[in-house]
């Protein structure tokens, strides 16, 4: 029986449509025996289906298969699982395999032509986080150290001591990034490591024509490394942008003419949602003046920091705001304040998502298609208005009226002056200030507004007034 099954499976694996009579003749058994054996293997789950082999070259359909090797950084507490899951959900992808060696994942995919395959790699796969201060345990240089120990030429690429042992019993101790030993910290003071990373960046620029990099956990990066990266990328591509993830501290330390062009503005992120939840607009007004005001002591004047209401690491805006009517107001504030506004996918239609204590799965769902709504259209309008306004993009910042439920501020450049007015209350409010004089165009409604020291704010409203 076992021999019959093996012979039968070997034949139908190559040609599942072979005639049953022919099968019986080949195997030297009765046709009924073949039928019964096939039925038994189907019921036992040995035969799970019947594959059709197609010669696509003889059809009118264009189709090409590709094998792509991907190097990624495993996420804390999740290894490669979450990243592999994200990749597999793309419709172009057939399978994702974990591999050893110089790469971490092997991705098989299909497209109509090489151009389509190339676009997928550059637009989707290449968008995966790139991290310069640590690698996974499967990184090829670290694997070499595991194998050769002292004799590895890459032992100084990491912070290693052969007098101890790791929790993985490697026969040596190494420094894990922020105590996570699945993430091996790179020695960015080693010139060979820096040269290797520069080669990686050059490859991305040459091969995929990238225009910039988001540097994950930039606060942990060696400062000399960032200086080298800035000068190197500027030589390759003068307008190349470097934006760092920074959670705390003085942003000036790494955002300057020698290092990064910008960084994440977490101070104002907290103020954006907290001001609405606490109904205390003084909080965000203080942060904005502290950072961008005209006083000499204001700390980030002239800098364009990356601003956001949510991202892949924090609870989405729609879940953290207690009053959902404040969602469009938060975006109105975001697009009106100084900085580079950044939108997180799905939040443009108020997708909810709460950060869990041990994972970020709820923050990073896969959508079958966009789900635009009224909020989406409002944000699109805010974007268009901002793009066309020199004051909103480059203007100085000045607080005009600050109340618990209202905030009015001015953005002024050499070309124009814009008043941004937010009313978070459920009742109308009359703002009074000397700056509220003259005739202005409401950039969101197209209406003309005439003021004489006063501005009427409707409940739950946003106004951009251009003078």
pLDDT digits (tens, 9 = 90+) for 253-267: 999 999 999 999 999
Smallest Cα–Cα separation from 159: which of 169, 80, 178, 147? 178
Per-residue pLDDT for 339 more than 80?
Answer: yes
Burial of 51 (0-12, 13-18, 19+ CB in 10 A): exposed
Residue 296 sits in a domain of what CATH number?
A: 2.60.40.1180
Q: What pLDDT does residue 230 have?
A: 96
Q: Is residue 253 part of a domain?
A: no
Distance (Å, whole) CA 161 – CA 21: 69
Q: What pLDDT does residue 96 have?
A: 83
- The helix/strand/coil state of 68 is strand
Distance (Å, whole) CA 428 – CA 410: 20
Residue 301 and residue 434 in one domain: yes
Distance (Å, whole) CA 305 – CA 151: 45
- Within 13 Å, how many C-alpha atoms sit on residue 152's CB side? 18
Per-residue pLDDT for 192 more than 90?
Answer: yes
Q: What pLDDT does residue 125 have?
A: 58
Residue 33 sits in a domain of what CATH number?
A: 1.10.10.10
Residue 152 sits in a domain of what CATH number?
A: 3.30.70.920
Mean of pLDDT over the chain: 89
Query: pTM (2 decimals)?
Result: 0.71
Which residue range(s) make up the domain with 8?
A: 2-53
**Structural domains counted in the chain:** 3
- The helix/strand/coil state of 341 is strand
Residue 312 and residue 194 in one domain: no
Mean per-residue pLDDT for 237-266? 94
Lowest mean pLDDT among 3-17, 104-118, 443-457: 104-118
Q: Is residue 286 part of a domain?
A: yes
- Residue at a domain's end among 10, 26, 53: 53
Q: Is residue 351 part of a domain?
A: yes
Q: What pLDDT does residue 128 have?
A: 42
Per-residue pLDDT for 416 more than 60?
Answer: yes
Distance (Å, whole) CA 100 – CA 139: 8
Strands (E), 112-250: 134-136, 160-161, 173-174, 176-177, 180-185, 212-215, 241-244
Q: Would strands 93-98 and 134-136 be described as parallel, antiparallel, or unpaired?
A: unpaired
Residue 269 and residue 200 in one domain: no
Residue 406 and residue 286 in one domain: yes
End-to-end Cα, the chain, rounded Å: 90
Residue 31 and residue 71 in one domain: no
Angle (deg, nearest 10), helices 374-387 and 327-336? 10
- The helix/strand/coil state of 445 is coil
Q: Is residue 256 part of a domain?
A: no
297-328 pLDDT per residue, tens: 999 999 999 999 999 999 999 999 999 999 99
Residue 74 and residue 41 in one domain: no
Residue 135 and residue 269 in one domain: no
Q: Which residue has the higher pLDDT, 420 or 60?
A: 420
101-130 pLDDT per residue, tens: 556 678 888 877 766 776 666 556 554 445
Q: Is residue 247 part of a domain?
A: no
pLDDT category at 374 given cuts 50, 70, 90 is very high
Residue 445 and residue 388 in one domain: yes
Q: Which residues, in sequence order, are CB contacts of 169 under 8 Å at separation 6+?
A: none
Residue 232 and residue 268 in one domain: no
Residue 322 and residue 198 in one domain: no
Q: What pLDDT does residue 359 have?
A: 83
Residue 454 and residue 312 in one domain: yes
Q: Is residue 124 part of a domain?
A: yes
Q: Is residue 314 part of a domain?
A: yes
Q: Is residue 87 part of a domain?
A: yes
Residue 338 and residue 302 in one domain: yes
Q: What pLDDT does residue 76 have?
A: 45
């Amino acid at each position: 029986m076992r021999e019959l099954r093996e012979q039968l499976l070997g034949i139908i694996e190559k040609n599942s449509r072979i005639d049953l009579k022919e099968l019986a003749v080949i195997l030297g058994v009765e046709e009924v025996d073949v039928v019964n054996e096939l039925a038994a293997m189907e019921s036992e789950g040995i035969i799970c289906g019947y594959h059709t082999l197609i010669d696509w070259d003889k059809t009118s359909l264009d189709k090409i298969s590709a094998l792509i090797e991907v190097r990624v950084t495993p996420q804390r507490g999740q290894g490669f699982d979450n990243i592999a899951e994200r990749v597999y959900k793309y419709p172009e992808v057939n399978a994702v395999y974990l591999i050893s060696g110089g790469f971490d994942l092997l991705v098989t995919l299909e497209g109509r032509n090489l151009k389509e395959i190339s676009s997928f790699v550059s637009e989707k796969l290449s968008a995966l986080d790139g991290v310069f201060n640590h690698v996974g345990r499967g990184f090829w240089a670290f694997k070499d150290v595991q194998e050769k120990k002292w004799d590895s030429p890459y032992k100084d690429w990491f912070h290693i001591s052969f007098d101890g042992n790791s929790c993985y019993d490697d026969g040596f101790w190494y420094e894990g990034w922020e105590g996570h030993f699945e993430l091996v910290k790179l020695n960015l003071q080693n010139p060979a490591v820096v040269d290797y990373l520069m080669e990686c960046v050059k490859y991305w620029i040459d091969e995929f024509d990238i225009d910039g990099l988001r540097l994950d956990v930039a606060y942990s990066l060696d400062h000399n490394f960032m200086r080298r990266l800035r000068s190197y990328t500027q030589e390759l591509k003068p307008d190349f942008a470097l934006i760092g993830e920074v959670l705390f501290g003085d942003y000036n330390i790494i955002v300057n003419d020698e290092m990064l062009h910008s960084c994440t503005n977490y101070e104002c992120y907290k103020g954006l949602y907290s001001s609405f939840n606490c109904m205390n607009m003084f909080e965000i007004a203080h942060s904005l003046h502290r950072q961008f005001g005209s006083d000499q002591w204001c700390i980030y004047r002239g800098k364009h920091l990356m601003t956001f209401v949510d991202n892949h690491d924090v609870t989405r805006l729609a879940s953290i705001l207690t009053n959902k009517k404040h969602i469009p107001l938060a975006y109105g504030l975001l697009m009106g304040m100084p900085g580079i506004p950044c939108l997180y996918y799905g939040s443009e239609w108020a997708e909810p998502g709460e950060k869990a204590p041990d994972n970020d799965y709820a923050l990073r769902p896969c959508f079958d298609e966009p789900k635009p709504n009224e909020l989406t259209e409002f944000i699109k309008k805010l974007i268009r208005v901002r793009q066309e306004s020199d004051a909103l993009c480059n203007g100085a910042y000045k607080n005009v009226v600050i109340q618990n439920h209202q905030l009015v501020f001015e953005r002024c450049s050499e070309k124009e002056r814009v008043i941004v007015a937010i009313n978070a209350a459920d009742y109308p409010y009359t703002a009074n200030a000397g700056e509220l004089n003259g005739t202005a165009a409401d950039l969101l409604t197209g209406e003309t507004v005439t003021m004489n020291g006063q501005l009427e704010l409707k409940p739950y409203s946003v106004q951009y007034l251009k003078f």
